[in-house]
Amino acid sequence: MKLSLLSSAVLGVAAVNALEVIEAKGNKFFDAKGNQFFMKGIAYQLTPASPVPRSHIRVDDPLVDAEQCSRDASLMKTLGANCIRVYHVDPSKDHSKCMATFADAGIYTLIDLDTFDTYILPNDPWWNQTQHDRYAEVMDAFIDYDNVLGFFVGNEIIAMANQSQAAPFIKTASRDMKAYRDKKGYRKVPIGYSAADIAELRPMLQDYLTCGGNPADNVDFFALNSYEWCDPSKYETSGYANLQKGAENFPVPIFFSETGCNVPGPRLFDDQDAIFGPEMVDHWSGSIVYEWIEEANHYGLISYGPKVEPTVTGKNIEGEFTRAGTPTPVSPDFYNLKSKWATITPKSVALADYKPTALSTRDCPTSTASGWLVNGNVALPTVGETYSGTFTPAPTASNTDTAGNAASPSSTNNPAPVNKEIAGMSAGLVGVMLFFTFWL
């Protein structure tokens, strides 16, 4: 029996390892053959969306049901997707069959490391050994799969203008998970953060997470949940032109970890032309469209069945929608995205021809009257530290680019309008966080 199980496991790993591994170089992603990689991704979660950011709710692990993964992966391949984002997983479960299925479909995964009880709280942040170890368990469970593209240390932890005191704890989580990865001798899977699109904070946050002169302390990528482009729109009027200004010569890869505004609808996904086109392709690494499953918010690209009455209950029914079964495209959104992706071939650069000598770690932003509370390059918290109301300045570090030259100051002006969806989500966040703080 043990031999049989071992053989099955080996076969599973072999299937998963069919894809080339992805690595971050400068501000781009490349596969092992040196080809640049752009994300055409889908947010993949099973439970309903909530007014509370998705990093703060319990979400079922979608990578444990092999039959469902097979059905979904097949249709995702038809759609043209090459990656999925999974918000929470259970490291104690077996993910080998689902990971092999997605690999066979040519689909990579981005996995959130925080678990149901270890996310960083925005109003009362801390970073302790329990959090560190739980994040590490998720990494341990997924690190051997070649179609793991990256890990997130958090999602929308900072969602209001007075919560930026959590930023050093986000950076600490990234630093420590990178150190754990390297200490264990693991493949250098990129580790980064998924940010809410908050105009008063986004420029400072993306600079802060990549500042200070020491790449070991910084995120390997920065991702943004943005719903600014609502069809019909254009690059110049959507807010994307402002996002692009902040991404120019960014020192690490930057991409959209959620996008796809559905107001007024239907979604045309014209933003994909800009993301993969001449306006943005030199600086952005693609996008992840929100989301796979149709639910009350009407962001779904597929449905497992029609909406049911609130009184109907069942194993796979939640929030008045079926959460498993045969995926059926939601028209016209599914087909609009499929057609859009089919016409897009982004201009790429080969790794052999890529020289990121102009990139550098960013200058650390100073505090602002509009809500950025972290003044300059502060010392990162240690394991077990909580927020005390102030931060100690960090020792002076040289800020140099990849060629060893002194970096020039960077600034991000004219931030894009506040994301309306995030603003709505944030309205009830303070009360919810007080609830979680009380019970944790």
Is the omega angle on the peptide bond into residue 291 within 30 degrees of 0, that is, cis?
Answer: yes
The residue type of 75 is: L
The pLDDT value given to residue 435: 30
CATH class of residue range 2-439: alpha beta
Name the packing angle between helices 66-79 and 333-342 (round to 10°).
60
Q: What is the mean pLDDT of each run of 10 residues along the chain (440 residues)?
A: 38 58 97 97 80 47 96 98 95 97 98 88 93 97 98 95 93 98 98 95 95 93 97 95 94 97 96 98 97 93 84 74 89 98 96 84 89 92 89 62 32 29 32 32
Quick check: is 258 catalytic? yes
Q: Tell me the C-alpha distance between 159 and 54, whole Å.
A: 12
For residues 325 and 316, the answer to whether their CB atoms sit within 8 Å is yes
The pLDDT value given to residue 7: 38
What six digits make up the tokens of 134? 């739980």
Catalytic residue among 156, 228, 291, 295: 156
Quick check: is 318 catalytic? no
DSSP 8-state assignment for residue 49? P
Domain boundaries, the chain: 2-439
148-155 and 108-112 strand pairing = parallel
- Taking each continuous run of H as one helix and of E as one strand, the counts in the chain are 12, 16
Rounded to two decimals, what is the model's pTM?
Answer: 0.85
The pLDDT value given to residue 419: 34
Catalytic residue among 23, 228, 258, 294: 258
DSSP code string of 96-111: HHHHHHHHHTT-EEEE
For residues 274 and 242, the answer to whether their CB atoms sit within 8 Å is no
The pLDDT value given to residue 321: 76
Neighbours of 220 (CB within 10 A): 22
Is the omega angle on the peptide bond into residue 332 within 30 degrees of 0, that is, cis?
Answer: yes
